[in-house]
Amino acid sequence: MTGQPAGGGDSARAALIAGVACYVLWGLSPLVYQPMGRIGADAGEIMGHRAVWGVLLAAGLVWLAGQSDQVRRVLRNPRTLMWLTLSTALIAVNWFIFVWAVNSGRTLETSLGYYLNPLFNMALGAWLFRERISRLGYVAIALAAMGVVLQGVAIGGLPYVSLALAVSFAAYGVIRKRVQADAQTGLLVECLIMAPFGLAWLIWLHHQGLGHFTDSPAAAFWLFLAGPMTVAPLVLFSWAARRMPLSTIGFIQFIAPTSSFVIGVSQGEPFNLTRLVSFAFIWGGAAVFLAAAMHRARAARRALKDAAGPA
């Protein structure tokens, strides 16, 4: 369902606030992961803390939501567990690349990747689910493709970071679309799959004297924060997505890459004219994507009004 429930304006406002908060958190997340890098933690150690603290927080939320029975059903269903294992691998790759990139002076490349993500979703929807792409959709994809080519020219090669982030997250979305489990339940199971590997890696780092969690209270604080930064945006998103139109989600999702773009530029990452033009093509593709989404939303409202007939 793409409309709002019968909860009235307060429910719609709450959903919008939750959705905006979700994408603001995702957009500002480089400012959380970069201090972890500055205390010496690499992407592997940060991923370990995301998995360990994330599973504890996700378990608490599932318990509060009364979804423990659903978790048990998922864990007893080999097919569902297989799909969630695959989604875990994809989101782990996505998280690792993102954390590594924002701590390697490549925040702009992560921004490009998440601008591309909805356009990749559109292409995958047409390929895998036979969803129809409008003329505006093809224009958006063409503009994004030109932006990727120019980005490659600007950085002297394919923007592997951007493409890997866009492909892995789009593929993750496709897999989760097939899984019969609520977002919080699926997140907990994914964290449960990752947690043993994360915990084993953190224990090994500690025994080798390479871990940073016990270095100082500040280090412990930042590394623990990896858990809330993993779980909170996903919970806000899952709550908001059920209560707001898809066209609104399509619009506000660009808050995250825009925030990351501003962070990358403000931190002095290389940004020449060619790179600016490449982003202009990406922004053009995003604008056309939004125009197409708004057109579909208006057409759907007209169809519903016509089906209802005169009052």
Tell me which of 44-53, 88-97, 147-156, 198-207 is least confident: 147-156
pLDDT given at position 3: 44
Beta-carbon contacts of residue 103 (< 8 Å; ≥ 6 apart)? 33, 34, 36, 37, 42, 43
Contact 243, 8 (CB under 8 A): no
Q: What percent of the chain has pLDDT over 70?
A: 90
pLDDT given at position 4: 44
Residue 302 has pLDDT above 50, yes or no: yes
Radius of gyration from C-alpha coordinates of the chain: 20
pLDDT given at position 264: 93
Residue 113 has pLDDT above 80, yes or no: yes
Arithmetic mean of pLDDT, 278-302: 79
- The DSSP-derived string for 52-118 is HHHHHHHHHHHHHTT-HHHHHHHHT-HHHHHHHHHHHHHHHHHHHHHHHHHTTT-HHHHHHHHHHHH
Residue 294 has pLDDT above 80, yes or no: no
Residue 308 has pLDDT above 90, yes or no: no
pLDDT given at position 123: 75
Q: Give SS3 for 292.
A: helix
- Count CB-CB contacts under 10 A for residue 40: 12
Arithmetic mean of pLDDT, 44-49: 96
pLDDT given at position 194: 94
pLDDT given at position 271: 87
pLDDT tens by residue, 164-198: 998 898 888 888 877 877 778 888 999 999 999 99
Contact 235, 191 (CB under 8 A): no
Residue 1 has pLDDT above 60, yes or no: no
Arithmetic mean of pLDDT, 263-268: 93
Residue 18 has pLDDT above 50, yes or no: yes
Residue 157 has pLDDT above 80, yes or no: no
Kind and range of the H or E run holding 302: helix 273-308
pLDDT band at 76, cuts 50/70/90? Answer: very high
pLDDT given at position 224: 95
pLDDT band at 5, cuts 50/70/90? Answer: very low
pLDDT given at position 99: 96
pLDDT tens by residue, 208-264: 999 999 999 999 999 999 999 999 988 887 777 667 765 567 678 888 888 999 999
Residue 25 has pLDDT above 90, yes or no: yes
